[in-house]
Amino acid sequence: MTPPTLVATESATWTWTIVETSFSGGNPWGERAYAPTDTAATPVIVVDLRAVRQTILGFGGALTESAAWALSQLSPETRAGVIARCFDPADGLRYTLARTHINSCDFSLSTWSLDETPGDFDLAEFTLEPMRTWVMPLVHEAFAAAGGKLQLLASPWSPPAWMKTTGKMCHGGELRPDCRDAWARFYVKFITALRDEEQIPVWGLTVQNEPAAVQVWESCVYSAEAERDFVRDHLGPALAEAGLADVRLMVWDHNRDLLLERGTAVLSDPKAAAFVWGTALHWYMSEDFSQTADLHAAFPDKHFVFSEGCWEGGAKPGQWDRGARYARNIIGDLRNWVEGWIDWNLALDLKGGPNHVGNFCDAPVLVDTEKGEAIYQSSFYYLGHFSRYFRPGAQIVASEGEAGGLHHVAALNPDGTLAVVIHNESSRAVAFRLVIGEEELSTEIPALAIQTYLRAPRG
């Protein structure tokens, strides 16, 4: 497999670099040189540098127990290579965000919590020990590969079983009313333990992964009002009292189809909203990208992070549509005020696990445990078209034009470089003109392809 190709060209004012990943014949990583096309008959995409929107935090992937286990099946050298290809700030995907789970999740080897002692309301038995075999080594390696510049988001799938109305971490249930205060202090314990024992800072926190779903795996149900009240009366005050008000607290952490409704329910309460930095979202039920735009219009001081998305139904090595869904969703989110985008499992085995309830999924990196090899899916390279070239601090700028059904988004980086991603999901090549002020690039994108156009000042 050949990685995406970079081809440079120059205009009177700017140097253009074109990065392309395309499906062509039997070689899914075929290279293509840049060649101008006839401008007269092509549609136009216009980038307006004056129309500035949100500032980008970055991109990343999830450091789950399953990802850690899958990567541990590789040789130390190959494992380090995979982690570097994700997090290295020069040669990798340049990930600056990561997510991990508080207690176990479906992508764990079993069900466990960090305090298994029933009735331990003082959390005297809280311990990070269940994370030390698989999760913690991967977290440390990711931070090291990123040069320490990694922002970690932590999310719980369920409180310990003894805090639940059902007495079980799996199959839904709710947080017991008499455990609300202890559960809020549990988050504080987790954040301070990572900081003090592991020297790992927690950048962000979500209240609950998928609070509207009763899953066969670890899950806990909150109504909109229950989440609001827990934030306002318990979690927010606990974080503030512990001096952790700078940890970015996010609500919802579920599918974007109900984001406006659930976000509004919390943010309409001034006391709850005072503790909330923003809203997290997933892609599983909807591609209604207007949900974030509408919530932004109502609460423009709040923020959005895409916290989870993956292909369900197991791993499909080499299947090209893996990347296209990522591109379509990332572009739709970035055009609608999302600031950070975190993929789900960093890596999985060829079955799409391990997953202790059989909820197998795909991942950008698959591990052939028998051969000891890593397989990079199209989604890995498609993600790189954003994560490598939309740098933290970049600002999304407007791009308009119905250019042959192409998806597009543009960002102006802190160093002055303009990055424009063009995605062609169709089975035909599309010629178009890319216009920025008085500058124009006449070009073409192949079928089933993604391109990143980078414009930098000459000299």
261 is catalytic: no
- CA-nearest of 103, 101, 225 to 164 is 103
Name the amino acid, one letter, at 251.
Answer: V
Residues 6+ apart with CB under 8 A from 106: 157, 215, 217, 218, 355, 356, 357, 359
355 vs 101: CA distance, rounded Å:
14
Known active-site residue 210: yes
- The catalytic residue among 20, 218, 308, 444 is 308
Per annotation, catalytic residue among 20, 141, 210, 339: 210
Q: How many C-beta atoms surround the C-beta of residue 237 within 10 A?
A: 15
How large is the angle between the packed helices 259-267 and 290-298, nearest 10 degrees? 20
> 169 and 158 in contact (C-beta within 8 Å)?
yes
Spatial CA neighbour of 278 closest among 213, 365, 217, 339: 339
Query: H-helix or E-strand containing 52?
Result: strand 44-55
- Positive/negative CA dihedral, 11, 13, 19, 20: negative
Give the pair of three-digit tokens for residue 181: 């205060």
Instruction: Cite the beta strand spans of 56-179 per DSSP E.
Output: 58-62, 97-102, 151-156
As annotated, the active-site residues are 210, 308
